[in-house]
Amino acid sequence: MFISFLGTLPLGTLNVAAMQISVSDGIRPALYFSLGALLVEIIYVRISLVAMDWVQKQERLFRWLQWFTVLIIVALAVTNFMAAASPHVKKNIILSKTIPRFWLGMAMSAINPAQIPFWFGWSTALYTKKILVPRNDVYNAYIAGIGLGTFLGNAIFIFGGQLIVNRLNAKQGMISWIIGGVFALTAVIMSWKILYNRKKTQKEKEVDQLTS
């Protein structure tokens, strides 16, 4: 729960989206969005616990999912800038006028691959320390803690978004500019990380070929 809570606090696609839904549509839709997102997260964790070898080999799949996530983030940034620039657009089109929030949370979490290597790394470390053992009761407690930590982390953004709105006297245009900027910065950072990790992986493979 502690690891999951801290891992949810850095700005990312899902927590910022939850904050914006809270600002534009209210707390309840944002909570539904977060529940859908954490449901997919715990499913991914459960799969990774029983299929670690397979998960570790899916580098190309994760890379494509990462680029797809970048496109989604760019679209979110653009729609926020459109909402900020136009007095007639009050909400983010993608987050407020598509599918129900619970299913939207599931969909956005499903295409966000960052959580897979994150929990793969932590699960491996906990296995090594013998804190996590291959028993169903331990797995269930582990997953429950992850879900609760993610929900509590998202709750900070959801209720914090409401606080920001009240402090800014509900200036929706300014909020849209800020959130759009956060999404744009996230897209740039994520793109850089993908390219950097790809170059790093290629160099490691070249070193392995030379030494073998």
Question: How far apart (Å, rounded) are the C-alpha atoms in residues 122 and 3?
Answer: 9
The pLDDT of residue 152? 92
pLDDT per 10-residue tile (average), the chain, 212 residues: 84 81 85 92 82 60 68 73 63 66 87 71 76 84 91 89 65 68 76 74 59 59
Place of tokens 């190309």: 60
Question: How far apart (Å, rounded) are the C-alpha atoms in residues 36 and 33?
Answer: 5
Place of tokens 């296995």: 127
Number of H helices, E strands in the chain: 10, 0
What residue spans define the domains of the chain?
2-211
The pLDDT of residue 26? 84
CB atoms within 10 A of CB 131: 10
Question: How far apart (Å, rounded) are the C-alpha atoms in residues 2 and 88?
Answer: 42
Question: How far apart (Å, rounded) are the C-alpha atoms in residues 201 and 208?
Answer: 11
The pLDDT of residue 163? 76
The pLDDT of residue 56? 54
The pLDDT of residue 87? 56
Q: For residue 87, with 0-12 CB atoms within 10 Å meaning exposed, 13-18 middle and 19 or more buried, which class applies?
A: exposed
Question: How far apart (Å, rounded) are the C-alpha atoms in residues 201 and 66?
Answer: 16
Name the CA dihedral angle for 47, 48, 51, 54, rounded to a multiple of 10 degrees. Answer: 120
pTM above 0.85, yes or no: no
CA 119 to chain centre: 12
The pLDDT of residue 188? 82
